[in-house]
Structure 1
Amino acid sequence: MGFIIDFLQNFWELSIMIGLYVLIGLIFVGIIHLYISEDWIKKHLGEDNKYSALKGALYGIPLPLCSCGVIPLATSLRQKGASKKAVTSFYITTPMTGVDSIIATYGVFGLPMAIVRVVSSFISGVIAGSFVKESFDDIVKEEKKSCCSSSCCSASKPQKESQFKKAYDYAMFEVFSDLAKPMFYGLILATLFMMLIPNNGVEFLNDNLFITYILVFLVALPLYVCSISAIPIALSMLAIGISPGVAFIFLAAAPATNIITAGIIKKIFGKDVLSVYLISIITVTVSFALMIDFVFPMEWFSSFSQSTEHETESIIDISGAIIFLIVMFYFVVKQWSKSFNNK
């Protein structure tokens, strides 16, 4: 009974830390959707030139698509003639960031971590795209069935609707409905991580950072986490005293290096591109992790521990957590019910 109470308490505390910022991020997701359409992205990435990798990385950063939700858009870009360089860099930065996860990262970890996350994503995308060899003999047809859920494949509705409703429907029923289950599982894993890792285990991890870096990639490989559902797990790492660099590796790399994403990259582009894709992400992410742990001022990444020492949370944080949990559980239960009825 004590374990359950401790679990629920830690689960609630994590929800308070991230809930409000997830909701704020969703507001910006809706706003961006009003002004940046898939057709607009296709138009600007449909050219092959020396700036292809740069443009692909830049356009992918703000889009709130998970590593699976980006599949139909990326394959459509490729099918319409976008260069392999642009699509590869786009495929990296899109799942690694997103306006929702950037805002949530800033709110939870502070500005330095948010900046490092965006910069590392951008550099990974540009490097990978630049080293990809161009060819157009591997263009594949878009496979809608690869999506995580039906919402990421749904066609845009032709009927007229208010701008507010259009933004709200997209943020809630297309973006957050896809994020709800990974976010829920991420919160569970983060809570268990905080409760089950012993103090001597934390000391070992911090004393052997290079081994820990490798372990983080190995742990991330079988998991499906999106850029925003990685936040509670990285948060739990910092909460128990693991180095910020280790938490950053999971935060930045896990959304783009899981088995699902790697398999799709291999299927669409082949082994050569997959190798460039993974090497770029791992090299850049580890480089920034080393800078976080050994070069950058530690106070840049210590504000988290200071902010968690307060005894009471504001009514805004509590209200945000309640709304966040209600909406998350609504979509999770809805997806579970749909899966159960289909069996």
Structure 2
Amino acid sequence: MEILIKIFENIMILSDAMSFYILVGLIIAGVLKQLIPDNFISSQLGKNKISSVIKSTILGIPMPVCSCSVIPLAKTLEKEGASKGSVQSFLIATPITGVDSIMATYSFFGWIFTIYRVITAIVIAIITGIVQNFIENKDIKKDQHINFSVSEPIHPTKNTNTETKCDNSCCGTKKVNKKFSVKESFNYAFNVLFKDIYIGLFIGLIIGGVFTTLLPKELLEPLFEYQFLTYIAVLIISLPLYVCATASLPIAAAFLLSGMSSGGVFVFLSAGPATNAITMGVVASMFGKKSLLIYLGVISILSIFFGYIFDNFFSNLEVFNIHTHPDEFSFIDTFSTILMFTLMIYSFIKSKYNNQH
């Protein structure tokens, strides 16, 4: 019973540390959703060029989507003619650089770690896309020697604020004036985006609480003494684990409390959200096993590289940014946690109701 109480206490500590920032991040994401045209991203991507990879990464930064909801978006981009590299860059950068993920990362690890995570995510996304497109272009050139009838990808039209209405005789465009709506912002934040992450977030908090309480530090200490052994072990854990960019943070916090280096935590937070089992399945089905190997290989190598850089150049930095006792949190933190769990319960009940009807 004492262990269960301690697990619950650690779950509440993790929740109090991040709940306020999660809620603020969701609200900002809802506002961004209203301000950014729906087809803004898809209209900007094109051929297998470096510019398309950079565009997909940069344009994905303000998109308010998590690791879960980015998958259907990536599928849409692929259908509209975006290159393999562009789609993969979008898959990597968008969840980690989302405003909710940034705010939640700051709540645990402070601004320096957060900025480092965002910048390296952008770099990893761009390099992955460039490598993917480079190999793709080489394969296309090989095919052209064998078969001269290589089809060109379909390019999306650059039409960011129009919808097309066609009949049998003509086709014209009509501008859509998208008015800002506070109601729609909150609806997207708490009925759409939060719905995508609440299960993963809840599971992440449970795992984080259990790990913080029960993870045997004595057994892990020998592992943590060897940097690269830590990185490899974390990579093996994070590759198949389906935890979104935000929900992975409580688990990462538990690792750090157990003695793992900041670089090891970075590897988990960098590789995990981009390489879960579902994303790997999607990449393989869209682009093939060779593209999946490139995707996993580049992410793994660069995650370890940047984790090593962080451990060796920021070793004196105080990374952990949360209190470790419930009494040290403010009323706002506690209220935000209550509100967050209330939203979780509401989302769960609503989901069950919708499934039954």
* CA-to-aligned-CA distance 1:192-247 (integer Å, 9 cap, x gap): 11111122123123213322212212222332111100111111112233211111
Match for residue 277 of structure 1? 295
Give the partner amino acid of 1:121. Answer: A
User: Secondary structure of the equivalent of 1:38?
Assistant: coil
Contact 2:107–2:321 at 8 Å: present in 1 too? no
What's 2:37 paired with? 37
| TM score, norm. by length of structure 1 | 0.86
Distance 1:276 1:96, change over 3 A: farther
2:321 counterpart (278, 285, 304): 304
**Matched AA of 2:321:** F
2:20/2:337 contact within 8 Å kept? yes
Instruction: Identify if the C-alpha distance between structure 1 residues 105 and 266 changes in structure 2 by more than 3 Å, giving closer, same or farther.
Output: same
Aligned to 2:103: 103
- Give a deviation string over 1:257-299, Cα, whole Å, max 9, x none: 1111111101101122212211121111111111121222422
- Among 198, 203, 211, the alignment partner of 1:185 is 203
Q: Residue 345 of structure 2 aligns with which residue?
A: 329
The answer to whether the aligner puts 1:256 opposite 2:274 as a matched pair is yes
> Contact between 2:74 and 2:90, CA under 8 Å: does it hold in 1?
yes
The equivalent residue for 1:146 is none
Residues 1:319 and 2:335 are matched in the alignment: yes
Moved more, 313-322 or 11-20: 313-322
Deviation at 1:338, TM superposition (A): 5.6
**1:311-342 deviations in whole A, cap 9, x for unaligned?**
52111111111111211232234445666x48
Deviation per CA, 1:146-199, whole angstroms, max 9, x where unpaired? Answer: xxxxxxxxxxxx9x9861011111111110011000001111111111111122
Q: Which amino acid aligns with 1:260?
A: I
Q: Give 5+ residue unaligned stretches, structure 2.
A: 141-149, 155-175
Distance 1:53 1:32, change over 3 A: same
| Distance in structure 2 (CA, Å) of the matches to 1:7 and 1:336 | 27
Letter in 2 for 1:313: F
Q: 1:268 aligned to 2:282?
A: no
The structure with the largest helix share of the pair is 1
Residue in 2 that maps onto 1:214: 232
CA distance in 2, matches of 1:25, 1:179: 13
Q: Do the aligned residues in 2 keep the contact of 1:181 with 1:331 (CA within 8 Å)? A: no
Contact 1:46 1:80 in 2 (8 A): no
Q: CA RMSD in A?
A: 2.5
Equivalent pair of 2:56/2:89 in contact (CA under 8 Å): yes
Partner of 1:73: 73
CA distance in 2, matches of 1:50, 1:219: 32
CA-CA distance at 1:115 after TM superposition: 1.0
For residues 326 and 139 of structure 1, the distance between their equivalents in structure 2, rounded to whole angstroms, comes to 47
Q: Distance in 2 between matches of 1:49 and 1:138?
A: 14
CA distance in 1, matches of 2:330, 2:253: 19
Check 1:139–1:212 CA distance in 2 against 1; reply closer, same or farther (3 A cut).
Answer: farther
Query: Structure 1 residues 99-108 or 127-136, which shifts more?
Result: 127-136
- How far 1:25 sits from its partner (Å)? 0.7
* Deviation, structure 1 residue 139: 7.8
Gaps of 5+ in 1: 141-157
Equivalent residues in 2 for 1:288-303, closer than 5 Å: 288-301=306-319, 303=320
The structure with more radius of gyration? 2
> CA–CA distance in 1 between the matches of 2:122 and 2:30?
23
State the 1:64 CA deviation.
Answer: 3.1
Distance 1:165 1:195, change over 3 A: same
What amino acid is the match of 1:131?
V
Of the structure 1 ranges 110-119 and 237-246, higher mean CA displacement relative to structure 2 is found in 237-246
Aligned in 2, Cα 1:259/1:168: closer, same or farther, shift over 3 Å? same
